[in-house]
């Protein structure tokens, strides 16, 4: 068995996520307590007791998802389950880098707190939107975006076979949605997002993030490999990790290629580590041969553990 971990990104959050783990496992509570002490912020209270609007603020969402992901990864480790290779969707790449030891837990918490703040506070002025396009080839989506003349719209996330997310000015996204429906898309769904993430419009946030990244330490790559969002290849010790992460927010996410490259590396079992089941769905749509688990709640975790014990 060769195991891959996938860590979720923004959008997977729900109020109360991880509370069942927190109440049951000391290992999980210890991660929350450590994170709260490092950041001077009660992460458990933020995650378990906030209203949806508060938790869904980018500056809060990103840190809450990171902490849950790290806590579940620690619990998996205590149960003897570790990954040979890991990756994450957008924000999730920081979880993967922390899990692999490329970035310390403390640095990952501090930089993700800043990343979420910059992505919220340094959005360009305008009315922005994102939409998921289901059932079309990548090139058809790219071509549709190029046909739009009413404003800026580009592909931002290549999620899995048959699913691409587009991002840009609201009018342009709406026009692209109509073109894509005419081109035969099965569904085109406008997403609840606050900005043109993973496009060139986040240059200011990228610049601020680059400055913040200069203060953290990047460690050598260990035997735990990590795949990048930006091109789906492995991080190596010759990579400028800080530059890659700064560019990450202004470039599309190549998540479909990450799944395919994991399979090419011999990964036959993937665990989604953190809230939600979205990434598990992406894997199933891209490679039906890979065994997939999620850890969204204790019931899912128990299924995973029981299967591994067998």
Q: Which of 69, 86, 90, 108 is flagged as catalytic?
A: 90
Mean pLDDT of 111-125: 93
**CATH fold match for the domains 3-122+201-309 and 128-195:** no
Superfamily classification of domain 128-195? Malonyl-CoA ACP transacylase, ACP-binding (3.30.70.250)
Work out the mean pLDDT of the chain and round it to a whole number. 96
Cα 89 to Cα 209: distance, rounded to the nearest angstrom: 18
Whole-structure pTM value? 0.96
Which of 24-33, 84-93, 214-223 comes out lowest in average pLDDT? 214-223
| Tokens 């490092």, located at residue | 38
**Is the pLDDT score of 29 beyond 80?**
yes
Tokens of residue 258, six digits: 């990450």
**Is the pLDDT score of 111 beyond 70?**
yes
**Is the pLDDT score of 193 beyond 80?**
no
3-state helix/strand/coil string of 142-208:
HHHHHHCCCCCEEEEEEEECCEEEEEEEHHHHHHHHHHHHHCCCCEEEEECCCCCCCCHHHHHHHHH
Per-domain residue ranges for the chain? Answer: 3-122+201-309, 128-195
Which residues 6+ apart lie within 8 Å of 218 measured at CB? 102, 103, 241, 242
Mind listing the pLDDT tens digit for each residue in 125-154?
999 999 999 999 999 999 999 999 999 999
Cα 289 to Cα 203: distance, rounded to the nearest angstrom: 39
C-alpha 228 chain-centroid distance: 11
90 as an active site residue: the answer is: yes
Domain covering 3-122+201-309: architecture:
3-Layer(aba) Sandwich (3.40)
Mean pLDDT of 92-99: 98
Give the model's pLDDT for residue 309: 79
Give the model's pLDDT for residue 195: 81
Give the model's pLDDT for residue 194: 66
End-to-end CA distance of the chain: 13
Q: Which of 69, 95, 100, 198 is flagged as catalytic?
A: 198
248 as an active site residue: the answer is: no
Cα 236 to Cα 224: distance, rounded to the nearest angstrom: 11
Nearest residue to 153 (alpha-carbon basis) of 10, 245, 9, 252 = 252
């Amino acid at each position: 068995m060769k195991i891959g971990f996938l860590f979720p990104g923004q959008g997977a959050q729900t109020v109360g996520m991880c509370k069942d783990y927190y109440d049951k496992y000391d290992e999980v509570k210890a991660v929350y307590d450590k994170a709260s002490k490092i950041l001077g912020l009660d992460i458990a209270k933020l995650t378990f007791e906030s209203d949806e609007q508060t938790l869904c603020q980018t500056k809060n969402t990103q840190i809450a998802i990171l902490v849950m992901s790290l806590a579940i990864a620690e619990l998996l480790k205590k149960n003897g389950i570790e990954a040979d290779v890991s990756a994450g969707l957008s924000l999730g790449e920081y979880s993967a880098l922390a899990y692999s030891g490329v970035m310390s837990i403390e640095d990952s918490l501090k930089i993700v707190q800043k990343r979420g703040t910059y992505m919220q506070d340094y959005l360009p002025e305008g009315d922005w939107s994102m939409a998921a396009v289901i059932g079309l080839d990548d090139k058809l989506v790219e071509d549709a975006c190029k046909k739009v003349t009413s404003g800026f719209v580009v592909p931002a996330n290549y999620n899995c076979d048959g699913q691409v997310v587009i991002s840009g000015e609201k009018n342009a996204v709406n026009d692209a949605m109509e073109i894509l429906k005419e081109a035969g898309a099965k569904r085109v769904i406008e997403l609840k997002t606050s900005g043109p993430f993973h496009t060139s419009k986040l240059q200011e946030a990228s610049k601020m993030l680059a400055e913040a990244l200069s203060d953290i330490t990047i460690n050598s790559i260990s035997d735990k490999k990590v795949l990048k969002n930006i091109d789906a290849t492995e991080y190596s010790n010759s990579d400028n990790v800080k530059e890659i992460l700064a560019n990450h927010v202004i470039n599309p996410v190549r998540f479909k290629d990450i799944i395919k490259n994991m399979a090419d590396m011999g990964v036959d079992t993937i665990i989604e580590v953190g809230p939600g089941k979205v990434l598990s769905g992406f894997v199933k749509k891209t490679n039906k041969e890979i065994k997939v688990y999620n850890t969204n709640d204790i019931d899912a975790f128990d299924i995973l553990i029981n299967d591994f014990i067998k």
